[in-house]
Amino acid sequence: MEAVLDAAAVLLPLAYLLVAVDYGFLFFGNRSFLPGGSSLALRIVLVAHLGYLTLLAAHFQHFPAANVSEALSIVAFSILAVYAIVEWLGNETSTGFWMVALAFLFALGASLMSGSTPEDRELFRNPFFFGHASLALLSSAAFAVAASYAFLFLRLYRELKAGRFTLFFGKLPPLEVLERMMSGALLVGFIALTGAVVTGFVWAFQVVPGEFFKDSKTVATLVVWALYAAVLLLRRLRRWQGRETAIASLAGFAFTLFSFVAINLWLSDFHSFN
C-alpha cells in the first residue's frame, strides 16, 4: 500500500502538470493535444486524486490533513474540484490554464513534502479535527481561486484601461464575469474560514482553554479573517470596486500563504502540523 501511495505522490503532480500544459495549449494556441481534450483529462486527474486521498485516509485511519504534505494535497484537490465545477457550470475553459497551474503548485508542494509518515494521534480521528481542518483547507483553496481570478481580472483591467492589447485580450471571460467569480470565491472562502475559526475555538476551549490565543497560527488566522471581512464589507458598501477587491484578494492570499508557510515551517507551537 505504501508503495502505491509513494508512486501516487510522485505521479499526481506530473498529471497536474500535463493537464495544466494542455490547458495552456488551449489558451495560447486554441488547441488541446490530449486525446479527449483538457476537460476529460481534468476529470480523470480529479478522480485519481480523490482515489489517492481515499487510500491515504484508509491507510492511516484519519482525515488526510495530518501534516503539511496532506494539507497541500487537499488544497490542490479542492482548487481542481472548484475549477471543474466552474468549468462545467459555465462551459468556460479559458481560465483552466491558470487554475490548474495553481493547483499544480500545491500538488508539487505536497509531493516534495511527502515521505514522512504522519503522527498517529487520537486528535486526528476527532470529528472536530475533520470539520475544522476541512473548512480551513477549503477556505485556503477558495482564497487561492479568488486570487487567481483577481490576477486575471487585473491583467484584463489594465489592458482595457491602457488600450494595449496582449495575448490575454479576447481569451478571458469578460471583466464582469471575472469579478463575479472572484467575489464568489472570496465569499465561499470567508464562510469556510469563519466555520474553521468557530470549530477551532470550540475545540480549543475544550483542549487548551486560555492558551490558544497565544498560538501564532490562531492570531494569523484571525488577522486573515478580519482582512477578508473588511474586503467583503467594503465591497458590500460599494466603496470598493473590482480593481480594489482584486488587489486586496491578492494581498490577502499572499498573507495567508506567508503565514501558512512561516508558521508551519519556522515556528513551532501546539497548533503547528509539525
Partner 1 sequence: MARLPGSYSAELPILVVGTDHHHALLELRERVAYDPRETEDALVGLIAMPEIEEAVLVSTCNRTEVYVRHHDGLDAFQQSLETVFLARAPEIGEEGRFFVKRGDAAARHLLSVAAGLESMVLGEPEILGQVKQATVMAEQLGTAGAVLARLARSAAAAGRRARAETQIGAGAVSFGYATVDLARNIFRGLDQCSVLVLGAGETATGVARSLLERGAGELRLANRTRERAEAFQREFPTAQVLGFDERLGALEAADLVVAATSAPEPVLRRDDLEPTLRQRKGRPLLIVDLGVPRDVEPSVGEFGNVFLHDVDSLKQLIEHNLKRRREEVAGVEAIVDEELERFAVWFGGLEAAPVVAQLHRRAEEIRQREISKHRSLFPDTTHDQLDVLTRSIVRKILHHPSAQLRESAEQENLRHLAALKDLFRLDDNESDTK
Interaction between residue 243 and partner 1 (CB under 8 A)? yes
Cβ proximity to partner 1: between 159 and 269 the closer is 159
Instruction: List C-alpha distances in Å: 49 to 54, 77, 90, 112.
Output: 9, 7, 23, 16
Interaction between residue 169 and partner 1 (CB under 8 A)? yes
Instruction: Select from 163, 209, 210, 236 the one that contacts partner 1 (CB under 8 A).
Output: 163
From 68-76, 134-142, 160-168, 249-257, give the range in contact with partner 1 by CB under 8 A. 160-168
Interaction between residue 164 and partner 1 (CB under 8 A)? yes
Q: CB of 175: closest distance to partner 1 in angstroms?
A: 5
Number of residues that bind partner 1 (CB under 8 A): 20
- Alpha-carbon distance of 265 to 274, in angstroms, equals 8
Residues 6+ apart with CB under 8 A from 16: 45, 76, 80, 100, 103, 104, 107, 108
The amino acid at 54: T
Interaction between residue 238 and partner 1 (CB under 8 A)? yes
Interaction between residue 241 and partner 1 (CB under 8 A)? yes
From 79-87, 132-140, 172-180, 265-273, give the range in contact with partner 1 by CB under 8 A. 172-180
Closest among 262, 136, 269 to 214, alpha carbons compared: 269
Backbone φ and ψ for 14, nearest 5 degrees, come out as -65, -40
Interaction between residue 236 and partner 1 (CB under 8 A)? no
From 82-90, 99-107, 241-249, 252-260, give the range in contact with partner 1 by CB under 8 A. 241-249
Interaction between residue 161 and partner 1 (CB under 8 A)? yes
Cβ proximity to partner 1: between 170 and 210 the closer is 170
Q: Restricting to residues 177-196, name those near partner 1 by CB under 8 A.
A: 177, 180
What is the sign, positive or negative, of the torsion defined by CA atoms of 51, 35, 40, 151? positive
Name residue, grid cell 504534505. Answer: 69
Closest among 152, 146, 196 to 172, alpha carbons compared: 152
Contact by Cβ (8 Å): 101, 168: no
The residues that touch partner 1, with contacts defined as CB under 8 A, are 30, 156, 160-161, 163-165, 169-170, 172, 174-177, 180, 238, 241-244
